[in-house]
Structure 1
Amino acid sequence: MYCHLLVPIDGTDLATQSISNAVEFARTLGARITFFHAQPNHTAALSGDAEAVRLTSPADFAYTYEGRARELLAKAESAARALGVPCGSATAVNDSPYRAIIDAARQAGCDLIYMASHGRRSGLGMMLGSQTLKVLVNAGMPVLVAATSNPPATSQAIGIIRDEHRSLAAVLHAWLHLLERDDGQRDVPREALMRAMIHYIRTFPVALHHPKEEEYLFRRLRERTSQCNAELDELERQHEHDQRLVDELAATLERHLAGKADIAEVKDEVSRYALFIWEHMGREEGVILPAAQRFLTPADWDEINAAFTENRDPRFGGDTDAEFRRLFSRIVNLAPTGTSNE
């Protein structure tokens, strides 16, 4: 059976579901995953949209054309870690995505390429995009194509909630990895990065994600059934406890930066918070989301999806939206990582 999957990912809304499917598939096989993202070569020409963005808005260029790859891969890795699936990731600059995918699979020693397809229906009777079809024809190894389509509101809402969980998980994994590499020396960029991580956690999910869960998902589930009330009560208590843990973590970090606390105390606080979050998100995804799929109505899901669509990682709207997207990208791009760049 297959032992090592290459899972190409893109930035579409369907990627969240396809990553979940790939991780579950790998878990059942006992396989490991290498996530892969192919980036077009935006520096190959001095014209076009990419160059216009680079000249007029360097920050937007850095996010859209440079930082986005690490963001996508960090979230995918977090999804795999949540189920205990061994994983790694790689990215390559290549104007031929299908060739980049095939090369990455061969270089990583993969024995299966797991792809999601959301293109048009081909003569093979499957929903195949042009790149997927080219991989099938040219790979020279097994390729599994998981057909996808525009998801209903239920799948969209659950996908957003899972994606936001993965965002937080990616930040925490990055912080833990950063602390593992700490050499005890003062480092101003590293200290600024840890402050950015605290800011991200405090603002999202504590101030945005949790309240929307309670206001929309939890409230609707309570209205449809009483079977989950005890679990929902516990999760809401955990939301309150989350705020206290973040405050304690922020205070410990500031004491450390002021020379009044050892880095080991920061490591302990981050590890404690991470373990709390893993358990909390596991309960939501393993108990509440399946129950919601069972009991909520299509109208309920339309409301929940509309609410969560407005705070996609996180979605405050306008300039603030762009600010937080760049903050998340900055965190996962500056933190140490095992991702390889081809």
Structure 2
Amino acid sequence: MYRHLLVPIDNTDLSIATIGQAVEFARTLGARITFFHAQTNHVSLLHGDAEIVRLVSPADFSYNFEGRARELLTKAESAARAQGVPCTTATAVSDSPYSAILEAAKAEDCDLIFMASHGRRSRVGMVLDSQTLRVLINTEIPVLVSATTCPPIPAVTIGTIRDEHRSLAAVLHAWMHLLREPATPGASDGMELMKAMLYYIQAFPLELHHPKEQEYLFRKLRKRTSSVNAELDELERQHERDHQLVDELAVLLREYEAGNTGRGELEKAVSAYATFMWEHMGREEGVILPAAQRCLTDEDWEEINAAFCDHEDPRFGGDTDAQFRRLFSRIVNLAPSSNT
């Protein structure tokens, strides 16, 4: 049976579903995964859209053409870790994604390529998109095509919630790995990066993600069934505890910056917080989301989906979702890279 999967991912929302399917498939097989992203060679596009974006908005250029790859792969790693699936990541700069996929599969010694088709369904079945079709035509390695076109609203909403979980998990993994790296005397980059990580945790999951879970997902689920009320009560208590733990982390980080506490103590606190959050997110994904799939109506899902897709928040101003995407991208691109 297959032991090593190459899973190509791109910068579309469909990759969220592909990653989840691939991780579940690998878990059932006891296989490992190499997540792969073929990055566009933006240097070759200097007379096209890439150059326009670079000149008009350097921040957008850095995110879309440089930082996005690491973000995608870091989230994929977090999804695999959550299921205990060993994984590594790989990237290549190429204007021919299918060729890069085939080369990566050979280089990584993979025995199966697991990829999505973004094609539309016709009367005769799924019409494969051009890159998937080219991989199928030219490969000598078996390919499993996962159809992820036009998922229903519940699947889209659950994908968004899981993606936000993966973002938090990735930041926590990056923070833990950063603390395991030897400290450089006099260096401030590590401290500034940890401050950015703390801000991300304070502002995104605590101020946006948790409240929307309680106001929309939890509230509607309580209206439809009482079977998971005890779990919802516990999760809401954990949301309160989350605020307390993050406040304690903030104090400890200030103490560390002032030289009043050691790196080991900070690492222990971050690790304990990460364990708390992984258990919390696992309970939501393992109990609450399946219950919601069983009990909520289409109208419920439409309202929940609208809430999670709208991250315009007056407390932060402007396009909040874009701000956090850029902050997340900065964190995972500056943090030391690690593979499981």
TM-score normalised by L of structure 1: 0.95
Matched to 2:153, the amino acid is A
* Alignment check: 8 A CA contact 1:127 1:148 kept: no
CA contact (8 A) 1:310 1:316 kept: no
Paired letter, 1:166: R
Once residues 119 and 318 of structure 2 are traced to their aligned partners in structure 1, the CA distance between those partners, rounded to angstroms, is 31
Cα RMSD, aligned residues only:
1.7
**Aligned amino acid, residue 182 of structure 1:** P
Q: Which segments of 5 or more consecutive residues in structure 1 lack a partner in the other structure?
A: none
Distance of 1:319 and 1:327 partners within structure 2: 13
Q: C-alpha displacement at 1:316, in angstroms?
A: 6.8
Tell me which residue corresponds to 1:31. Answer: 31
1:252 matches 2:228: no
Map of 2:229 onto structure 1: 229
User: Which amino acid is 2:93 matched to?
Assistant: V
Conserved in 1, the CA contact under 8 Å of 2:177 and 2:338?
no
Paired residue secondary structure (1:331): helix
CA contact 2:311–2:319 (8 Å) conserved in 1: no
Identical positions, percent: 68
**Residue correspondence of structure 1 range 119-134 to structure 2 within 5 A:** 119-121=119-121, 125-134=125-134
SS at match of 1:337: coil
Q: CA deviation at 1:233?
A: 0.2
**Which residue matches 2:288?**
288
Confirm or deny: 8 A CA contact 1:117 1:129 kept in the other structure. yes
Q: Given that residues 63 and 329 in structure 1 are in contact (C-alpha distance below 8 angstroms), is that contact kept between their aligned partners in structure 2?
A: yes
1:147 to partner: Cα distance: 1.1
Letter in 1 for 2:227: Q
Query: 1:184, 1:263 within 8 Å by CA — same for their partners in 2?
Result: no
- Give the Å deviation of 1:317: 7.1
Tell me what 1:15 maps to: 15
Partner in structure 2 of residue 58 of structure 1: 58
| C-alpha contact 2:71 2:333 (8 A) present in aligned 1 | yes
Native 8 Å contact 2:204 2:324 kept in 1:
no
Q: Distance in 1 between matches of 2:50 and 2:122?
A: 31
Query: Which residue matches 1:243?
Result: 243
Q: Which runs of 5+ in 2 are unaligned?
A: none
Distance 1:126 1:215 in 2: 38
d(CA) in 1 for partners of 2:45, 2:231: 55
- For the 8 Å contact 1:310–1:317, the answer to whether it is kept is no
Is 1:275 matched up with 2:275?
yes
Cα drift, residue 320 of structure 1:
3.6
CA distance in 2, matches of 1:220, 1:115: 35
Change (3 A) 1:319 1:223: closer
Aligned mates of 2:277, 2:87 — CA distance in 1: 20
Residue 118, structure 1, aligned to residue 113, structure 2: no
CA distance in 1, matches of 2:159, 2:123: 30
Find the aligned partners of 1:124 and 1:88 in 2 and give their Cα distance: 37
Amino acid at match of 2:9: I
Distance apart, 1:180 and its partner CA: 1.2
Q: CA deviation at 1:186?
A: 3.8
Using structure 2 for the length normalisation, give the TM-score.
Answer: 0.96
Q: Secondary structure at the match of 2:88?
A: strand
Which amino acid in structure 1 is aligned with residue 337 of structure 2? T
Q: Is the 8 A contact 2:311 2:320 kept in 1?
A: no
Distance 1:77 1:265, change over 3 A: same
Count matched residues.
337
1:58 Cα offset (Å)? 1.1
CA contact 2:120–2:149 (8 Å) conserved in 1 = no
Structure 1 residues 38-69: Cα deviation after superposition (integer angstroms, max 9, x where no partner):
11111124210000111121111000100000
Moved more, 41-50 or 159-168: 41-50
Matches within 5 A, 1:1-342: 1-121=1-121, 125-183=125-183, 185-311=185-311, 318-338=318-338
